[in-house]
Structures are given as C-alpha cells and as structure tokens.
Amino acid sequence: MSIQFSAPGRYLQGPGLLSQLAEHTAPLGDRALVLISPGGYRRMGASVEASFAKEGTAAVMDQFQGEPSLAQIHRLQRKLEEHRCNLVIGIGGGKILDAAKAAAHLARLLVAVCPTAASTDAPCTALSVLYTDEGLLDRYLALSSNPQLVVMDTAVIAASPVRLTVSGMGDALSTWFEARAAACTKPVSAAALALAHRCWQVLQSDGAAAKRDLERGVLSPAVERIVEANTLLSGIGFESGGLAAAHAIHNGLITLEECRSRCSHGEIVAFSTVVQLFLEDGPAAEREEVFSFLAQVGLPRSLEQLGISPCGETGLRKAAEEACSAGSPIHNMPFPVSPQAVYQALLAADGEGRRYS
C-alpha cells in the first residue's frame, strides 16, 4: 500500500488579509464568483470589493443563504456560466465553504476559501459536505483536489465568538490520537504524523492562553498559533493521517438529539477523543493530560456537559451501535471494537471526566 499526503496549494494567515484578497486570488483567476452571507457582506463586502477594484479583477458577489444542497450548487453553476467566472471564492462559515468547494469541483474551476472562524479543520481538505434543502445530511463529496488557496484573516477570526475557536481546538485535539491509531493499520507518511503531533503540542502550550486572549479581544501570538493548529496542522494531519474512533463516536453521539442540538462538532469530538483513549486502555497519565487540557479551555469532560444523561442507557447504546456501523472509521483502530466496548468506554470517560468538572 502507498502513503498519501494532501494539502492546500497555498495557505495564508494574518490580520487584514481579506482587504488584500484580490491580490492573492489574481493568479488563480480574473473573474471570481464570491460566496458570502448577507451578514458577512454587510461587515466585509465593501472591503473585499475594493480589493478587486484595486487589482483590476472582477468579483461577482453572491449573498449565499440556505444549505449547500445540490439545488444550490446547480444554481451556482448557472451563475458561473452566466457571468463567465473562472474562479470560486467562499468567505464565511463551513456551509459557505462547502458550497464554494462543491461548485468549483463540479464546474472544474479553482477555488479559494476564506474561513471567518477557526472552528473546524475542514477548510484545507478535499471534501465537501452537502445537505438537503431542509438541512439534513445528504452526502460527502470527495473533491478532485484540495483548495488552491486558504486565507485566514486572523483579525476577523479573533472577532468571532470565542466558543468557535475553542470548538476548533476540540476538533484539532483528535488529530494526533486518531492518526496515531490509524497508522497502526495503514501506511501514514512521517510528515502527516509529525504535523498531527505538532498540532497536539500547540494545543497544550497555547490553548489556554489563546482562549484568555480572545476573551480580552487580543490577537496575540498564542491566538495565531492556535488558528494555525486548528486549521492547517489539524486539516493536513487528519486528511493525510486518518480518522479512527474519536470521529466514529462523534457520529454516534450526534444521533442523540439532546447532544446534537446543544453542542458543536468540535465539542463532541473533544469528549469522543478521551473515549477513544479509554478504548485503547493506554497510560492513565495521557488521559489525565487530555482531561486537564479540556478543563483549561472549557471543552466538555462529561456526558452531562454534552446534554446526555449517563443514566440513559438506551441512547448511549444507540450511539455505540452507530459508532461501530459498517464503514465507520472506528474500524481503523488497531483492534476490533464492539458496541459494548464503546458503551463501556463512554461510561468510563464520563466517570473520570466528572472529576475535572
């Protein structure tokens, strides 16, 4: 078997980058369809349009609303053809970025993504999540390539709710532990493992300080390092390293409405990571390190903090069954994992985690 390493074509990070956006996208295309929410347009639209005017390239603004559904993607394709655009740019949250990546993929155009929060590691990846018009998960669309450009304007990100960046830390937390497990069952490049491990190191050294700085409205070096860890290190680390039990358990827990409606992706992944550590039955000191980190940055350490009653055996067993379903990344673990083992690990993680609450 061969190894793979995937990464965006170019990654830019720093304050004020959106006001210079056209300078960085000009090498990719001179007529861009720019997806941005109505709220984002009110806050940033004039600055983005001014950058295109200064550069002498064109921007067709699309105030995107709704879901990244097939109907919306087809609408965007028609707009791309109508305006003869040769580049797609997404500015905003995950759904806008998913729509931009999918529209560019189906139109065989290049894409640049500009997240306005550091809440997940998805921006750098060759994957788009599509939903129905009603907001239900439709499919995962594998793309032909990673985005050609990722732009992280940290001034914009620092102004987003602190919870979003902390949630991104929860998603990034799983990267090293899942890549380490997956590497036992498939070839993983040394580069991917190194980036995944570095991601965990940055979370430990800078996570708590970054949260404090964001709460004070300070764009500090710690914040910059956490934005990079949440987005670039975790994005490359998971895509080239692999998923394992943590994301599988997340997929089980989101079948429980009380959890899904209360917590973000990263918050659920954070707790699911310690559940994976209990499945592995590794050193207690490592689990203590992770629980301490969760407590320092305010990520969930117990089922109750996810909105789940530990006494709700039926729901927990349902989540455990889903985590072990066919095709689940839990089968990337270096040993067989049963629903009963997941159920017991959920209870063990909850019992230990309540000591840190």
Active site residues: 171, 247, 250, 265
Report the SS3 class of residue 60: strand
Element (DSSP H or E) covering residue 337: none
15 three-state secondary structure: coil
- What are the backbone angles phi and psi of residue 63, rounded to the nearest 5°? -80, 90
Q: Residue 116 and residue 195: Cα distance in Å, rounded?
A: 23
| 67 within 8 A of 135, measured Cβ to Cβ | yes
Angstrom distance (rounded) from CA 236 to CA 232: 6
3-state secondary structure of 111: strand
- The tokens for 23 are 């300078």
Rounded Cα distance, 206 and 107, in Å = 40
Task: Specify the DSSP element, H or E, that contains 34.
Answer: strand 31-36
**Cβ-based neighbours of 209, under 8 Å, separated by 6 or more:** 220, 222
* Residue 158 near residue 210, CB atoms below 8 Å: no
Q: Which residues pair with 31 in a beta bridge?
A: 58
Q: Which of 127, 122, 123, 103 is nearest to 113 (CA)?
A: 123
Instruction: List residues bridging with 149 in a β-sheet.
Output: 112
The one-letter amino acid at 235: G
3-state secondary structure of 6: coil
User: Taking the CA of residue 289 as centre, how many other CA atoms within 13 Å lie in the half-sphere pointing to its CB?
Assistant: 13
Give the largest Cα separation in the chain, rounded.
Answer: 62
Measured CA distances, 67 to 37, 102, 291, 297 (Å): 11, 12, 35, 31
